[in-house]
Amino acid sequence: MKKTNVFELISCMTALIRSEERKRCSELKLQLTHLQVLEYISLCNKYSDTPAALANYLGMTRGTVSQTLIVLEKKGFLTKVQDTADKRVYHLQLTVAGVDILQQAKPTNLFEQANDLLGDDFSSLEGEALFVAALTALQKANHSQSFGVCKTCKNFTQRETGFFCELTKEVLSGIDADKICQEHVPH
């Protein structure tokens, strides 16, 4: 059985955060792509606030970006401003409504709750232990199934005969032990 690595933990954290973002976007009648576009525009400088740079950053086609920008502009979340020097170039800017919807869509309370759960104890943690603590805090703050890697679950045990799930009382294969499980309970 291979040891859980930092990249598996980051992948689990990312999935959990994206799940929360999708939930928020659904409540706000946005697509996750809309949130990603708004977030990028809020972070980029004047050299990177163009549709072409946005497409490159998100790894999307220019056509997909163009259609997304049309939707966000119609909703009043962004404006396109023509470059004064090169009339072919447009710069993207968030409107006040765009900044507001971005703040509503971000799962900041999830991060705040996770940080509160971590407390001051995490400052002494390093490497993998820090990521495990952060993931566990995010999972607890989210109050949902964690979908963690099976072998990192508190119900996972190793016996002489192989791997075993204490929750389901079933034998697990080595392949199952290395994969994501919806019944995962963090330590």
Q: Which two tokens stand for residue 170?
A: 């079933």
Closest to 90 measured CA to CA, from 56, 52, 55:
52
- Residues 101 and 174: their CA atoms lie apart, in Å, by 44
pLDDT tens sequence for the chain (187 residues): 445 567 777 877 888 888 888 888 999 999 999 999 999 999 999 999 999 999 999 999 999 999 999 999 999 999 999 999 999 999 999 999 999 999 998 877 778 888 888 777 666 777 777 777 777 777 777 776 667 788 888 889 999 889 998 888 899 988 888 888 877 776 6
Q: Rounded CA gap, 45 and 94, in Å?
A: 12
Please state the length of the chain: 187
Domains, the chain: 6-22+107-177 (no CATH), 31-105 (1.10.10.10)
State the Cα–Cα distance between residues 174 and 156, nearest whole angstrom.
Answer: 12
pTM above 0.85, yes or no: no
Task: Identify the pLDDT of residue 60.
Answer: 94
Angle at 36 between CA 68 and CA 15, to 5 degrees: 130
